[in-house]
């Protein structure tokens, strides 16, 4: 999948959850600025190991179980360092975003989850020709949900 889907799917998930929370008069867990960190975490596997061919992805160290295990403490430490309140939620969503990245690549060509051990997990369940439509759809849905969330927060402040 392309970066639009990778970045927006976790951000859409978080903004949807926060929109539901705000609708129930509960505070947001994640701020708008923190959404950028979640998007960054979602792109981390490709930023740290850029790849253009499927063969490169299948030999990428950042699309493995070992990488997902290794970044967990890093994300926990960085989240606690960067954020005073709700740092656990930021850490959880950032980690989830990186996991979603590997999952999405798994259904869009497969990943070598246990690299350098043999074996590719997944396949082209989502063919390449649909990736751009996925990007456009997720970017628009995320923008819409963010608009709804910010509007509800504004209304809540006025009430
Ligand atoms: Zn990737």
Q: State the pLDDT confidence band at 48, using cuts at 50, 70 and 90.
A: very high
44: left (phi over 0), alpha (psi -120 to 50) or beta: alpha
Cβ 6 vs Cβ 108: under 8 Å: no
End-to-end CA separation in angstroms for the chain: 42
Distance 57 CA to ligand 1 centre (A): 7
Quick one: how far is CA 131 from the chain centroid? Answer: 16
Distance 32 CA to ligand 1 centre (A): 24
The mean of the pLDDT values for the chain is 95
What domain count does the chain have? 1
Q: State the pLDDT confidence band at 29, using cuts at 50, 70 and 90.
A: very high
Range of the domain at 89: 3-158
Distance 44 CA to ligand 1 centre (A): 8
Q: State the pLDDT confidence band at 66, using cuts at 50, 70 and 90.
A: very high
Ion ligand 1 nearby residues (CB, 5 A): 45-46, 105
């Amino acid at each position: 999948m392309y970066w639009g889907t990778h970045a927006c799917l976790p951000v859409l998930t978080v903004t949807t959850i926060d929109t539901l929370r705000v609708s129930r008069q509960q505070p947001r867990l994640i701020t708008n600025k923190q959404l950028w960190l979640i998007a960054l975490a979602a792109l981390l596997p490709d930023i740290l190991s850029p790849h253009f061919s499927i063969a490169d992805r299948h030999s990428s160290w950042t699309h493995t179980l070992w990488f997902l295990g290794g970044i967990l403490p890093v994300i926990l430490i960085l989240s606690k360092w960067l954020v005073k309140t709700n740092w656990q939620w930021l850490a959880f969503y950032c980690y989830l975003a990186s996991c979603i990245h590997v999952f999405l690549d798994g259904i869009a060509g497969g990943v070598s989850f246990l690299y350098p051990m043999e074996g590719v997990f997944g396949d082209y369940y989502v063919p390449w020709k649909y990736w751009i439509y996925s990007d456009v759809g997720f970017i628009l849905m995320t923008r819409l949900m963010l608009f709804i969330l910010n509007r509800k927060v504004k209304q809540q402040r006025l009430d």
